Amino acid sequence: MPVFNRRDAASGQLHIYDTRTREVQEIASRDGYISIYCCGPTVYRDAHVGNLRTFLLADLISRTLTMTGVDVELIQNITDVGHMADDFEGEDKLLAESKRTKTDPFAIAREFESRFHKDLALLNVRKADRYPRASENMNSMIAAIEKLIESKNAYIGSDGSVYFDATSIESYGAISGNKLAALKPGYRHEHNDESGKRFHADWALWKLAGERTQMIWESPWGPGFPGWHIECSTMSIDFLDSKVDIHVGGIDLRFPHHENERAQSNSLTHSEVVATWVHGEHLLFEGRKMSKSAGNVVLLSDVQERGLDPLSLRFSFLENRYRSQMDLSWAALDAAHSTLRKWRALMSEWGISTEIKIDQEITDALTNDLDTPRAMQRLRTIEKDAAMGSQDKRAIFLYADQVLGLELNRVPESKPLTPELEQLLNDRVVAREAKEWNRSDSLRTELEARGLEISDGPTGQSWRWK
């Protein structure tokens, strides 16, 4: 992939929807610099395709900003401690897996962290500048909790654990719309046992270990482990100097995670740490929410096992707006795989030039709240434009691919025909010469079922691998 020349940076600035203000706003750089924090994986399992859609969102934002000539710093945390109750239903998933496999919990975390990075590479998601682990930033979290206690934003509960005082933040609910007065007891908690709280909407910053013997640390309040929310506050403040221009996450994190994170971060810095909150919407698979109980959790490895290019998943995501609920299906992935192969074949036919040509419609689509479906449609239009030269088509495809990240310049794999396929192709030529149209159509169907794409033109029959 050619490197983008900043002297040719596209005009216009990124505008994106801010969850807190409920409006699309311009992302103004700070002397040509933008900081991004993206909530990363909880590494007790593989990331499913819904998680990957969120991680892709941060990549698309970063690539679009780079396209417009902005320097981007991206931090993505690794959650290897402080798992929320929704994940472990009474027992931390890492500890449960450790008990089941008789394996050290941190060994499990490192394994799934490694697999997370491999999945991102297969999706052509560019690496973040840093991937700080919660377990390696414990001193910072403890210091932050001490500061919150000192400022009266947190307190030691009757059970010895430390809690954040939700009532200390007047603007609580700004992101989610969930006001404290409307929250009922038991709405959702980070941990099952939080009997030491003063108010039902408070949340744990530090939990005493109790009977837990693994993944615990010493603290001024006794051995224990941090709450889930405090890690993102601490690491975003530490690694991005208390100023996050864009904070990215899935819509499921809007409440309580991001609401609580905002309360902590603003209390620690006495300022609005995050300028813009960006959330990706839910992903369904074939009409249903993915869940382990439903047996429809799809991983990137499942896509590969079906013989599909991993980037067919990225392609499918791009055909849907990031803040619209998406219903993914195997049929959509098959179609994406086919189109991806076709576009790469066309790129090879269009030449070998690495020249990039700015296309204003693509620029406008991407900078207007990441309208990737419109950008993809523009490429489909260019593909079929008989009046446009092949070199111009190739140059525009390369320009768009800086953000789309589909590796459109990848040389298609040369796969030889089997003798059987060669015979079927010859049989179809004979059938067409004899004007046996039904047989010709039947042979086309069989050939396409075996992975070929058949075209008939003035010079006769042609084919390519899907």
Residue stretches of the annotated binding site for Zn(2+): 39, 232, 257, 261
Give binding residues as ranges: 39, 232, 257, 261, 292
Closest CA to 126 of 79, 76, 70: 76
Using left for φ > 0, alpha for ψ between -120 and 50, and beta otherwise, residue 30 falls in: beta
Note the maximum CA span of the chain: 90
Report residue 404 as tokens.
Answer: 């789309």
Helix, strand or coil, per DSSP, at residue 54:
helix
In contact, 263 and 270? CB cutoff 8 Å: no
Give binding residues for ATP as ranges: 292
CA pseudo-torsion sign 194, 200, 204, 205: negative
Distance CA 431, CA 434 (A): 5
Q: Which residue has the tokens 């798992």?
A: 83
Residue 347 has a CB neighbour count (10 Å cut-off) of 22
Contact residues for 146 (Cβ-Cβ < 8 A; gap 6+):
220
Distance CA 333, CA 319 (A): 11
Contact residues for 147 (Cβ-Cβ < 8 A; gap 6+):
268
**CB-side exposure of 437: number of CA atoms within 13 Å?**
0
